A and B are shown apart, each in its own frame.
Chain A
Amino acid sequence: MIGQAIADGFLTGAIIALGAIGVSLSLQILRFANFSHSELLTWGAYIAVTFVSFATAGVSVGPLSFGWQLLAATAFAAAGTALLAILVDWLVFGPLRNRGANHLTLVFASFGAALILRNLVLLIWGPEARYYTNELQIAVEVFPDVRMLPDQIFVLALAFAIVLALHLFLRFSRLGMAMRAMAESPALARICGVEIGKVIRWTWILSGALAAMAGVFSGLTVQLRPEMGFNLLLPLFTAAILGGGGSLIGAVIGGLAVGLAENLSVLVIPAGYKAAVPFLLLLAVLFLRPQGLFGAAERS
């Protein structure tokens, strides 16, 4: 039981982590809590399902339920969602930022953006649950008494590969350094010649693309629904805050912690309350360690 819950927790956690990285980037670099971030997950998942409906999910490769087409769909969704994120910034957040609006005004605006984005999904794709494939899979025993579907193992591995790549990017590329610099001090970054607009654009591109992947993975391992992202909003914020807002590793560990806590909680509390677990975790963190588990610097 516990072994299975841990395995499931890692899977949910990896998906939450991908989404939480974007929340964390926007808290640090764009400096506001973006309540519409979760809708980017939904959009990513649905863009991919549209791609799949034209190309099909492909002939299953090995034990997986899909073929290379779904990977192509994921890449397409990542690009599409990144564009969508930039579009929303251009229409909504950018003008507010340029006006020098209070950062809480950006949070209100993100309420509105979230409503629009979520309901556009409902409008375009309808309320029914959707799936990428109808292939049935046989769970494999990865450890004694721990079973996972091949798709789930694939998603877990791919999520970690993406996180690793992103870590290397932020750590060693000059753009990644500029992003970290701007997270600490926009003024000093500008003095160094960093173009703020460019960093903001790349922040949206990264968080949009990662959100899309989280959405596709969530759709692949559960299902697609218009409210799938919205239901992940609280876990995403919890993971980002748990990780201390700043570091990528923090957001990833925060994501895993939320995923594990949700799945392990089912062993002790009724499953109906599972969705409240991130909130309890959030309360505990904010109460005991407001700077997050890995945060060092204070947030003003």
Chain B
Amino acid sequence: MIGLLSYLVFFAIIVLILGVATLGLNLQWGTTGLFNAGVVGFYAIGGYAFAILCAPPRPELMANFGLPWIVGIIGAMAASALAALIIGLLTIRLRGDYLAITTFGVAVSIQLVTLNWEALTGGSLGLTTIPRPAAGLFDSSLSANIFYLALTLGATALVYWGLESIIRSPWGRVLKAIREDETAAIALGKDARLFRLQSFVLGSTIIGFAGALYVSFIGFVSPFDFAPILTFQIWTMLIVGGSGNNKGALLGAFIVWGLWSASGTFISMALPAAYQTQGGAVQSILIGLVLVCTLLFRPRGLIGEQPTVSRHLAS
């Protein structure tokens, strides 16, 4: 029972963290129509910034400041925001697939930096013994995890509530107007580029926040945690749940991560150890199938966007 409970707590924490990242992506794509194909890059920046700020010092590393948890979280968000601002300034005027290709390149480059800048990131070995908040207060790992679950639940609720109010604000309505018809929005005197940039930075900050939550939970970070497939997983979560809808983003995170974990568990039980790589391949194929089938058979996702946009445009 304890085993199952531990597993469920672990599972719920990961779902919530990925859900936060999906919410960030939903602001960019679902609300603003920005095609960020480098989600994992911003997730990695948040994760690494947190690790570098909070991990205990080690002589061979230049950073590792051992700062308090909350400083790490704020720093992680600031780092993702800054990176998004720089990248956004360079790329925000690009359209659709060109923005996708460029942000994909961003993610590739960031992974290279994490792999190669050993003095900062620990290279392929990564950074270890990254602290969790209030870790000393608990005597069992289960209670520590339950505490962390409560923390991520609070964080998710905060992000969800914040995004919902933002989307309903005049600012959010401008974003949707730009997504629907940029020319018309410009004609109304809105500087579309500035709004797109703001949305890109805010979305990436949220994704970076998720990265920090993840690293803080796992206690360890390496370049291999930020493989490109994570970008596609998070996109699948958004599309399966229904882009443009924050509830959909969270539901998608739950379903896709559930499918990923369940298939992983099944494969690790069913296949001998020698075939585990192939088992991982099956997991990825499943994600690909879910994505393609959703696009083909249920293009708006499980719970799509409420059609409020045209009314705004008409008014």
Contact = CB atoms under 8 A, between A and B. Distances in A.
Tell me, yes or no, whether A and B come into direct contact in the complex with CB atoms closer than 8 A: yes
B284 A119 contact: yes
B281 A112 contact: no
Interface stretch (A8-16, A121-129, A214-222): A121-129
Chain A, interface SS category: helix
B81 to A, nearest CB: 20
A35 B115 CA distance: 24
A202 interface: no
17 contacts: A27-B97, A33-B101, A95-B296, A99-B299, A104-B35, A111-B291, A112-B232, A112-B291, A115-B287, A119-B281, A119-B285, A120-B281, A123-B278, A126-B278, A234-B105, A241-B98, A283-B90
B96 A104 contact: yes
B112 A119 contact: no
A283 B102 contact: yes
Given A32-B97, A111-B291, A275 B235 contact: no
Contact of B282 (A118, A119, A234): A119
B112 A276 contact: yes
B295 interface: yes
Interface string A234-249: 1001100100000000
Contacts of B261: none
Nearest to B104: A234
B288 A113 contact: yes
A111 B235 contact: yes
B229 interface: yes
Nearest to B238: A108
A177 interface: no
A105 interface: yes
A55 interface: no
Interface residues of A, number: 47
A279 B91 CA distance: 12
Interface residues of B, number: 42
A287 B90 contact: yes
A92 interface: yes
Interface of A: 27, 32-33, 35, 92, 95-96, 99, 101, 103-105, 107-109, 111-116, 118-120, 122-123, 126-127, 230, 233-234, 237-238, 241, 270, 272-273, 275-276, 278-280, 282-283, 286-287, 290
Contacts of A270: 116
Contact of B295 (A105, A123, A273): A105
A21 B289 CA distance: 27
Residue of B228, B278, B291, B292 with highest tally of chain A CB at under 10 A:
B292
Given A104-B97, A119-B288, A283-B90, A109 B295 contact: yes
Contacts of B108: 234, 275-276, 279
Contacts of B109: 275-276, 279-280
A53 B136 CA distance: 58
B291 A115 contact: yes
A42 to B, nearest CB: 13
Given A107-B97, A122-B278, A123-B281, A283 B287 contact: no
Given A33-B98, A111-B235, A280-B109, 15 more contacts: A112-B287, A112-B290, A115-B285, A116-B284, A116-B289, A119-B282, A119-B288, A123-B278, A234-B101, A273-B112, A275-B108, A276-B109, A276-B112, A287-B90, A290-B94
A197 to B, nearest CB: 19
Given A108-B295, A112-B289, A113-B288, A283 B277 contact: no
Given A32-B97, A104-B97, A108-B235, A282 B102 contact: yes
A115 B97 contact: no
B239 interface: yes
A280 B105 CA distance: 9
Sort A-B residue pairs by CB-CB distance and give the 4 closest, nearest first: A115-B288, A279-B105, A33-B97, A112-B291
B205 interface: no
Given A115-B232, A120-B281, A108 B90 contact: no
B42 to A, nearest CB: 15
B292 A92 contact: yes
A290 B90 CA distance: 12
B112 A283 contact: no
A111 B232 contact: yes
A200 B291 CA distance: 23
B292 A112 contact: yes
B144 interface: no
Most buried by B among A104, A108, A275, A282: A108
B100 interface: yes
Interface in B97-123: 97-98, 100-102, 104-106, 108-109, 112-113, 115-116
A238 B277 CA distance: 31
A118 B98 CA distance: 23
A241 B99 CA distance: 12
B236 interface: yes
A126 B313 CA distance: 53
B288 A122 contact: no
Contacts of B232: 111-112, 114-115
B229 A278 contact: no
Given A119-B281, A120-B285, A272-B116, A112 B295 contact: yes
